[in-house]
A and B are shown apart, each in its own frame.
Chain A
Amino acid sequence: MLEGKTRLRAGALVFPALLLVAVFLLAPIGLILRFSLDVYDPSTLMKGVFSAENYVKLLKDPFYTGVLLFTAQVAALSTAVCLLLGYPVAYFISRSPSEKLRSILIILTVLPLLMGNAVRSAAWMVVMGSNGMINGLLLALGVINEPIKILYTPTAVVIGLVSVLMPFAIITLQSVLDSIPVSLEEAGRSLGYSPLRTLWAVVMPLSIPGIVAAGAICFCLAMNAYATPVLIGGPSVHMMGPLVFQQIAKVGNWPFGSALAWVLMMVTLVMTVISATYLNRKYF
C-alpha cells in the first residue's frame, strides 16, 4: 500500500514534465502528421483531406529519396568521424591525472558550443572560400595555380558538421569513460597487454554505451542539420533539413513539407534504434 502511494507521488512529480512534453512536443508532432495527409493547393495552401499523396510523391521520386539517402550518408560519415576523432580526446581527458587540466580541457571542448551554428559555419566559409585561408595557403606554397573548390561541396558539409558535433561526442564519451575504473586497465596491463591492446580489449567494450549514446546524438543532430548544409553546402548540396524549410516557408507547401519532416523524423528514429540495438546486443 505504502509502495503504491510512493509510486503515485512519484507519478505526480513526473506529471508536469509529461504534460509539457505532451503539449509542446507530441501535439505539434501530431499536428504535423495531420498536415502531411492534407493536399497542397496554391491558392488556399492546404485542402483538408486524408491522402497519402505526399508520402507517395516522396517515396516515388528519385530526387527526394536521393536527398534522404544522401542526408543519411552525410550524417553517418560525420558521426563516424566524430567518434573516431573524439574517442582519443575523450580518453585523454578522462585519464588526465590533474583535475585542473581536466577542467580546462572540458571547458575548451565545450567552448565552441557557446557560439551559434551559423557563426561557426560563417567561420568555415572564411576558411574554405575561394579567397579563404586554405586556398591562400595552397596558392602561396605554389601547390595550386588557381583556387580550388572546397566550399559548397559535400566534403565541406561533413567538415562543418564534424566541427559542430565533436563537442557532443567528446563530452558524452568522456562521461562514460570516467565510469570505467582505471584498475581494469591496470589488470589488463599486468596480464601483458600493451596499452593499445588494453584500450581495444578492455576499455572499448565497456564504453559501448557511451559510443552508442554519442553516436545517436551526433547522428540525430546531423540528420536534422540546417545551418551547416545551407551555409557551407550552398544551393547545390541538398539535405533534408533545408528541404523541409524550403517547402514550408518558401513555397508554402505545408503538406509536403510536413511529410518530409515526418519521414526525416522516422528514418532518424529507426536508424538510431536499429544501430543502438545492434551494438548493445553484440557487446552485452
Chain B
Amino acid sequence: MKRRQFIGAGAAIAAVGMVGSREAFAQNKRLVVTNWGGDWNDRTVKFIEAPLLESKGWTIVRDLNTAPQRRTKLVAEKNLPRGSIDVAHLSISDAVFVNNNGAVDTIDFKKIPNASDLVKEITTPFFLPWLYSTWEIVYNPTQIKTAPTSLAELWNPAYAGRVGVTNQHYQDYIQMASLLASGKLHDFEAAKKKLLELKKINKPKVYESHQQIAAGFKAGEIWIACNYRARALQFQADGIPVNVAFPKEGAALQTFGVCVPKKAQNKEGAYVYMNALLDPTGLANLCQANYYSPANNKVVLPGEVGKKITLTAEQRKKLFPPDFDWLSKNDAAQLEWWNKEFV
C-alpha cells in the first residue's frame, strides 16, 4: 500500500468512526420521559424541557399516562433486559412503591449540580424531589365568611351536603381524618371512625378528580373540601371562588419528582434531565404558573405569587411527611375500606 493510499484509508476509517460516534452522541441526546398528561405535562414542556433541553439538541420522547399505568409499567419492566423509560415522573408515594419493588435506581445526587440545596425533609435516595404542596382546607369565601382554621370545619353540620371529597385522594382524606382524630398521620382506625362520622353528618359529595371538584366549587354544589394548596391556587387563578386555609392541626406533604428506572437506556441523559428540572430560573417560572413549592431552596419566588406559595415558619413546623412504607403496605386495605364503607 502506498503512503497516499494508506493515509486515504486511514482518513476513511476515521470518518466512519466519526459518523459512528456522532450517531452514538445523537442517540445519547434522546430521552424517554414518562409523565402525567394535561396541564402538568404542558407546563413541564413549556418551562423546563423546551427551553432547557430541546433547545440544546435533546430529543424528548414523551410517554404520557396515568400514575397507576406508569407505576405498573415500571414494575413490569424491571425484569426485562432493556427498559423503555429513562426518567419517570412520580409522586413520592408511587416512588416508594416502585422502589420497594426494586424497579428504580439509587440516585447519585453528586452528579446533579442543581441538587446541592434540596429541601431535606422530602429527599430520599431513590427519588429526586421537584415540587411539593400541602394538604389544606379549600373553601368558598362567599358562602363561608370566616376563614376556617381547623379540619374539624368539614364536620360542621352547617355545611351538610356542601362538603366535597375527591375519590383519587382517598389516602389524603384518610390522613387528614387521622390527623384530626389523633394528631397522628397514620392512625387508620381513628380515621375510619372520623370519616364515617363525616359521612353521617354532612353526606359529602364524592368527585373523581381535581377537575371535577373544581367544577363542583364553580357550580356552587360544594362550599368546603380539602386539596393541595397548589391546586386551590390554580382554581383561584382560573376564576373559581375559593380560598385556601392552613389547618391548625397541621398538613400532610405531597411531593412530586422523578426516579430513574433500573433498566433505563440513557442514565447519563437522565442526570442531565434531572439537573434541568431543578434549574432555579426554569423552576421559578414553573412554580409561578402551577403554584407548587419548589424542592430546590435556591429558587426565588417573587411578588404576590411567591407570598401565596411560600409556607410561613409557623406552618413549616406543622408539616407531616407521610410514612410511605406504611402507606405502601396499607394502600390496598385503605382503598378497599374507602370503596366499601365511605364512597
Contacts and interface: CB of A to CB of B under 8 A. Distances in A.
Contacts of A279: none
Interface string B201-223: 00000111000000100010100
Given A131-B219, A249-B72, A252-B75, A236 B343 contact: yes
A63 B337 CA distance: 10
Interface residues of B, number: 25
B206 A251 contact: no
A: contact size bracket? 20 to 34
Contact of B69 (A42, A238, A249): A249
Contacts of B27: none
Interface of B: 66, 68-69, 71-72, 75, 97, 100-101, 167, 206-208, 215, 219, 221, 328-332, 335, 339-340, 343
A28 to B, nearest CB: 14
Interface string A16-58: 0000000000000000000000001011110000000000000
A153 interface: no
A180 to B, nearest CB: 46
A250 interface: yes
Given A130-B221, A251-B331, 8 more contacts: A42-B331, A43-B101, A43-B328, A45-B75, A234-B167, A234-B208, A248-B72, A251-B335
A162 B215 CA distance: 26
Contacts of A43: 100-101, 328-329
Nearest to B206: A235
Nearest to A62: B340
A246 interface: yes
Contacts of A230: 208
Contacts of B100: 42-43
A249 B219 contact: no
A94 B335 CA distance: 50
A253 interface: yes
A253 to B, nearest CB: 5
A35 B329 CA distance: 20
B339 A238 contact: yes
